[in-house]
A = this chain, B = another copy of it.
Amino acid sequence: MDDTRIFDEKMSRRGLIKGAAGVAGIAALTAGGLGFLSKADAAKASPAALPWPYKKCTAEEIKQAGNIAHDNWFKGFCSYAVLSGGVEILRKKIGEPYASFPMELTTFAHGGTSGWGGTCGTLIGAGVLSTLCAGPKVGEAINNEVINFYATTSLPIFVPDHPKAQIRTQSVSNSPLCHLSVGKWMQKEGVGFLSPQQMDRCGRLAADMCMKTLELLNLWADGKFEAKTKAPVFANEIPSQNNCTDCHGSNVPKTSGPFGTGLDLLKAGH
């Protein structure tokens, strides 16, 4: 029996899972299901409570969101691009509380968080977007799928109505990290950082993440969203990517111990 199944069984025995859709469902359950839902039920009128109202986007609106994201990359970079692409559409469709939402609040996340090359800012903007619309629990499950899409797909796919540069290259990051994603792409395209090509590539990739998030929100609104991707934290017993050898070479360290009693403690805390 592999570790994941052991973990699944252990959690099931402890009664923590009621019909959760696999391990990604557990991740979402533990992150968002503790104390948030009852608060949301009690205060639905306040924008402080998530989720906010969501209405399914048409294919045309999703494409519009992609073009807004691409254009807005050049106003506030990647995280702002994804978040504003979604929020601008929802402001038109729904109004408040999106109209009063300060959508520049994750602008700092560009360049892998203030330029430090960590998590790609598009994934932070995407996570805020899915969380606003679907709440912390489902929002994280959707974000997990968006990250898997980001890490395993040859990108960018979206061709904007108003490209600012022509590009030749698509590449697979195998990672959610800005440094690896943009680094591999720049190496393949043969350009430097802040070149017109790199900027348009990142704008297009922002569009891809914005559109994927809205597509998954649409599925969720139809009751058809399914958490399919195993969160790497459960596969590897530590928050991680799945490309261990990229950094560790053949010498991948063992984790310091098995999962502890954390989820029990978290449950007991409420």
A176 / chain B contacts, CB cutoff of 8 Å: 113, 116, 118
Q: Is the CB of A191 within 8 A of B136?
A: no
A182 to B239, CA, bound (A): 9
Chain B CB within 8 A of A250 CB: no
Q: Is the CB of A192 within 8 A of B258?
A: yes
- For this chain, the copies found in one complex come to 2
A residues with a Cβ closer than 8 A to B are 27, 31-32, 34-36, 46-50, 52, 74-77, 97, 99-120, 123-124, 127-128, 130-132, 135-136, 139-140, 143-144, 147, 164, 176-179, 182-183, 186-187, 189-199, 231-234, 237-241, 246-247, 249, 253, 255-263, 265-266, 269-270
What 12 additional pairs, Cβ within 8 angstroms, besides A183-B238, A196-B265? A112-B119, A113-B119, A113-B143, A117-B233, A117-B238, A118-B118, A178-B239, A179-B241, A193-B239, A193-B259, A194-B261, A199-B265
